[in-house]
Amino acid sequence: MSSQTAKKNTEVNRDIIEKLQAMGELYAKTNDKWRAYSYQKAITTIRRCTHRIDSYEEIIKLPGIGESLAKKIWEIIDTGSFEKLDDFQSSEYMKVLDLFGNVWGCGPNIAKQWYDQGFRTLDDLRTKAKLSHNQQVGLKYYHEFLERIPRDEVTEIEAMVKQHAFPLVPGLTIQTCGSYRRGKATCGDVDILITHVDGISHEGLLVPLTDSLKKCGFLTDDLILSDKYDDDGGSHVKYFGVCLLPGENRKHRRLDIIVIPHDEYACALLYFTGSALFNRSMRSLAHKYNMYLSQHRLNTGVIRKNNSKINMGTPLYTPTEESIFKYLNLPYRPPEERDH
């Protein structure tokens, strides 16, 4: 798509698209996937219109837009406002879903269930809801987890992990990824990737490492510790938890650690550096070349049928992130340029 046409198209019906987008996002938050999807479809259709839409008859003729949605679009054009969106945005329901949706690990589904059970405040959750261990942790640090972590503090957290890891296994490669590696001034959490060049010394590291970090009081709560092989045959072991640096006025921070075999390093580094949006477009590009990019490897010669892989293909040699870009015919992009 030429970016010039795309720009012109979205400009001309921009107010409509923005309101539909906002409404679609609210539906997604309430887990109304069907409505969220039909809004998304309508947005795609309207983006393709090169002229200003100016009649109801025209809207109803557009593919994939039914009567009820067409009426709403006409309301936006005719009156410049969208009452249902305004009501929805200011409703108690949406405010509560936002509040609950910010408990770490809670999706729209759980937030909605809590609302339906009659809960309206964090205190309601604390005193009346039946919470899983992770939800209790998420609630305990609700406000702390919403605060961004200054970059310098991420560096301190990384140093603490290194200080406990190196005595266990000398020569480990320890790299902080996520938004930190993308150069952000503040981060939502700390994402640490660990491997060893010899290809074996990373094995069995995670449990002694987290034990050591618990003993000194740095790790305060566990969320996920997983050392299972996933369906891709990968052997990432991961720890999601909560840490607290020593000293006055410190805050509890979310810490993710992934330990991987060295031959998966470049793909894991690429994945864990993100952003999530960037990863999605890399994966769909791989798909186009009949390849498959995961956090473990890049496979070529993949055969798909109806979107499921009937032949997994063969893994390519990916010693560096650069090599992955090259296979996908992309110019290399440094981490700071991987937000989209």
Pick the stretch among 57-65, 82-90, 102-110, 188-196 that binds ligand DCP (CB under 6 A).
188-196
Q: Label residues 193-221 b or e (16+ Cβ within 10 Å = b).
A: bbbbeeeebbeebbeebbebbbeeebbbb
Catalytic annotation on 72? yes
274 forms part of the interface with ligand DCP (CB under 6 A)? yes
Q: Which residue has the tokens 């490897």?
A: 297
234 forms part of the interface with ligand DCP (CB under 6 A)? no
Distance CA 163, CA 316 (A): 34
Residues 104-123 that bind Mg ion (CB under 5 A): none
CB 258 within 8 A of CB 235: no
Q: Per the residue annotation, which of 29, 72, 112, 184 is the catalytic one?
A: 72
187 forms part of the interface with ligand DCP (CB under 6 A)? yes
275 forms part of the interface with ligand DCP (CB under 6 A)? yes
Residues 299-338 that bind ligand DCP (CB under 6 A): none
152 forms part of the interface with ligand DCP (CB under 6 A)? no
Q: How far is the CB of 303 from ligand DCP (least distance, A)?
A: 24
CB 240 within 8 A of CB 223: yes
221 forms part of the interface with Mg ion (CB under 5 A)? no
Q: Which residue has the tokens 């957290």?
A: 157
221 forms part of the interface with Mn ion (CB under 5 A)? no
**Torsion over CA: 323, 327, 328, 331 (sign):** positive
CB 169 within 8 A of CB 201: yes
189 forms part of the interface with Mg ion (CB under 5 A)? yes
264 forms part of the interface with Mn ion (CB under 5 A)? no
191 forms part of the interface with Mg ion (CB under 5 A)? yes
Select from 101, 172, 189, 252 the one that contacts Mn ion (CB under 5 A): 189
Distance CA 54, CA 77 (A): 7
Number of residues that bind Mg ion (CB under 5 A): 3
Q: How far is the CB of 191 from Mg ion (least distance, A)?
A: 4
Q: How far is the CB of 21 from Mn ion (least distance, A)?
A: 26
Q: Which of these, 249, 168, 178, 173, lies nearest to 210 by C-alpha position?
A: 168
Pairing state between β 190-196 and 219-226: unpaired
Q: Phi first, then psi: what are they for 294, rounded to 5°? A: -130, -175
Select from 65, 191, 240, 253 the one that contacts ligand DCP (CB under 6 A): 191
Select from 256, 272, 274, 292 the one that contacts Mn ion (CB under 5 A): 256
What does the binding site for ligand DCP look like in residue numbers (CB under 6 A)? 178-179, 187-189, 191, 271-272, 274-276, 279
Please give the positions annotated as active site: 72
